[in-house]
Amino acid sequence: MKVAVYGAMGRMGQLLSDHLIEQGHDVYKVDPKVQNEDVFTSLEAAPQSDVIIDFSHPSWCETVLTYALSTQTPLVIACTGHNDAQLKRIEEVSQDLAIFKSANLSVGVYVFEQMLKTYTHVLEETYDIEIHETHHKHKIDAPSGTALLLASAIQEGSQTPKTFITGRAHQPSLRQTHEVGISVHRGGSVVGEHTVAFYGEADTLKITHQAHTKILFVQGALLAASYIKSQAPGLYTMHDMMEERRKTL
């Protein structure tokens, strides 16, 4: 498979490029911020690929979308932190291009998400729900895309609308039953840890996913690339990919 890695000189981009090369794929490293003889400064300068994996930054979203659409190259968006306008643009382009986008490329997080969609309604009447997320000190977006993904799963699995609170310092009132707090922690080299806690009067249930190494997301990106390159135009997620894999097992 011929893969263009956009943002190839970032931490994740380098890890992904090395992994793809080890797996025998042809890799075209692209990074507009790096001047290096082994790196292309634009997608236009690189050879045509079978798929693009974007591990750069949301600020490059339009650049990647424009090229992918013009060349009809399937796209995996593996970065997070897009604003509403960028998300809308991704949806627009997906009408004419196969795009895979997920806030987290881990199969474990996908199962976590499905658990919340399935069981939140069983617990919400008697338990207070809180989301806790921790990442390394270099991560900028907060809450993380995965925390927001889990929040969305809670909302979908709930029978009553939820209000998500990202900072209680400015909330002088008592906690309301419909509220779900999202606490954010940044420090050290933590790859990623997400916990959804259900606090009851008699017990507490906590579901936690810990990423021990970033290779987890690299493997997920490769799975997504292999999947999306043969799909019709549309916006695909981990759910779409996992459902297809489940049918073939």
Which sequence positions are flagged as catalytic? 135, 139
DSSP reduced 3-state for 127: coil
DSSP of 150-215: HHHHHHHH-SS--EEES-GGG--SPPPTTEEEEEEEE-TT--EEEEEEEE-SS-EEEEEEEE--TH
Q: Give the number of other CB atoms < 10 A from CB of residue 245.
A: 12
- Is the distance from CB of 129 to CB of 175 less than 8 angstroms? no
Q: Give the number of other CB atoms < 10 A from CB of residue 6.
A: 31
Interatomic CA distance for residues 97 and 234, integer angstroms: 6
